[in-house]
Amino acid sequence: MRKTIFVATALLVAMPLLGAPARADVSIAAGGWLGTSPSQTGGALMLSTASSIPTVPIGLQATVLAPITNRGGYAVTGEIRGLSGGGFGGAYVGAGAGIGNLAIDRTTGPVVTIFGGKGIAPHTSIELRLYQGLQSGGTTAGFLGLRFSL
């Protein structure tokens, strides 16, 4: 996790040095949530803010996830997202790390995520995410939903 934080920090520091203006955006997502340990299903909402550099095909983003289940919980992650050009049809992948409350006993601890998505319309993509709580009793969970960029 320290390596992820170091890489994200280094990229943030390097952004102004690259000479290209950053493009920032905000997006919201809603979709289905399926978790294990214990089994839970329901909806989930996400809010992300991102910054990308046009000359480098990556973006940095922060995401807040809130499962809408009887167990609740949350995850707040800092993420690196690979941006695709027209050659990939608007597809993207990424990974992140942060803190969350997705464990059986509702303790807060480290969380990691990997994700991918595909643009399906202007400002709209379908996204699949996998989360893993790293604390004792941490949940493995998935999110599938629609992301709308504002």
In a domain, 36, yes or no: yes
Secondary structure of residue 40 in the 3-state scheme: strand
- The answer to whether residues 131 and 100 touch, using CB atoms and an 8 Å cutoff, is yes
Domain that holds residue 91: 2-108+131-149
Residue 113 forms part of a structural domain: no
Given a contact cutoff of 8 angstroms between Cβ atoms, the answer to whether 11 and 22 are in contact is no
Provide the domain count of the chain: 1
pLDDT at residue 36, as a whole number: 82
Other residues' Cβ atoms within 10 Å of the Cβ of residue 13: 9
Q: Is residue 145 domain-resident?
A: yes
Asked if the structure places residue 60 within a domain, the reply is yes
Query: Mean pLDDT over residues 73-99, rounded?
Result: 84
Note the pLDDT tens digit of each residue in 128-143: 999 999 988 788 899 9
Lowest mean pLDDT among 20-34, 71-85, 92-106, 107-121: 20-34
Domain membership of residue 118 (yes or no) is no
Higher pLDDT, 93 or 4: 93
Residue 12 covered by a domain: yes
As a whole number, the mean pLDDT across the chain is: 81
The encoded tokens of residue 126 equal: 């379908």
pTM assigned to the model: 0.78
- Spatial distance between the Cα atoms of 9 and 116, rounded to a whole number of angstroms: 22
- Does residue 56 fall inside a structural domain? yes
How far is Cα 84 from Cα 20, in angstroms, rounded to an integer?
A: 17
Question: Higher confidence at residue 127 or residue 13?
Answer: 127
Q: What's residue 88's pLDDT?
A: 52
Per-residue pLDDT of 1-51, as tens digits, reads 444 444 444 444 444 434 444 445 899 999 999 988 667 889 999 999 988
- Token code pair at residue 59: 């973006």
